[in-house]
Amino acid sequence: MRNASRKRPRVMVVTGATSPLGKVIIRWGIGAGFEVVALSRRTARLSTVPTGSRHRVERLDLADIDAVEAVARRLCRRGASIDLLVNNACGWFPGSILRTPSQTIAAQVTASITGTLVLIRGLAPALRRAKRPIIVNICSTVGSGYRFTPNTLYVVLKGALDAFGRSLRNDLRKHGIRVTNIHFGRLADSPRTSKHIPLNDAAHVMTLVSAVSAGTSVDMLVLTPVEYEY
């Protein structure tokens, strides 16, 4: 006799899904058996999610706070649960803050900081319904003091993500939600030199974060090239 109860698929939500790192994380999630919800401003560029599958792509500009709240309500409806939220989206503008337009500063702070916080708050009910919920923040060594760069806005955005990730860990601990900050050094999608991290290493890290027992929290991971310039 067929068992009437079907095992609920694990659900992973990823922001910044069209970036090279976002695509690697999505491929890992699909291979790990997650039902993937990919969020991005540029969904037309996302070919990582197979068409006609249970996985789906949704357009979301994190700078549009009303849209962020609407997506969060949609993902939380009817008692849905989310097992893994990966905050990968972050703004980028090359060069000194002295050459960064005011509108760019305001828009990227809203998208990368405010939008991410609002999304986490909005998805919290669905995360709390999962058995072993995890939030992963894709940070950077430039935002943690490991190395420095003249791209001040990017440093501020990644530094803020690191700070509120550490605070979230304590804020959400009583709800059973674990929070991991992953700090990547120079990834292979940056201008290629002999000192870079293969993008596929992100998949190995995600395996580690998701595989530890429910009583263990991977608080922070830092990946740097072996030949690293501080």
Q: Give the pLDDT confidence of 175-224 residue by residue, as tens digits.
A: 999 999 999 887 876 555 557 888 899 999 999 999 999 889 999 999 98
Measure Cα distances from 198 to 30, 42, 203 in Å. 19, 24, 10
Q: With contact defined as beta carbons under 8 Å apart, do 35 and 11 qualify?
A: yes
Q: Is residue 6 part of a domain?
A: no
What digits encode the pLDDT tens for the residues 1-54?
A: 344 445 778 999 999 998 889 999 999 999 999 999 999 987 655 566 665 568
Range of the domain at 58: 11-223
User: How distant is the alpha carbon of residue 9 from its chain centre?
Assistant: 20
Q: Is residue 5 part of a domain?
A: no
Q: Is residue 89 part of a domain?
A: yes
For residue 44, give the CATH number of its domain: 3.40.50.720
CA gap 86, 205 in Å, rounded: 13
pLDDT for res 4 = 40
Task: Give the torsion sign (CA, 121, 123, 129, 133).
Answer: negative
CA gap 11, 30 in Å, rounded: 10
Q: Is residue 46 part of a domain?
A: yes
Residue reference for tokens 């058996």: 33
Q: Is residue 84 part of a domain?
A: yes
CA gap 133, 202 in Å, rounded: 19
User: How distant is the alpha carbon of residue 45 from its chain centre?
Assistant: 18
Helices (H), 135-215: 152-173, 201-211
The letter for the amino acid at 208 is: L
Q: Is residue 2 part of a domain?
A: no
Q: Is residue 132 part of a domain?
A: yes
Look at residue 229 and tell me whether its pLDDT is greater than 70.
no
State what percent of residues in the chain have pLDDT above 70: 86
Number of structural domains in the chain? 1
Q: Is residue 230 part of a domain?
A: no
Q: DSSP code of 79? A: G
DSSP run (H or E) holding 222: strand 220-223
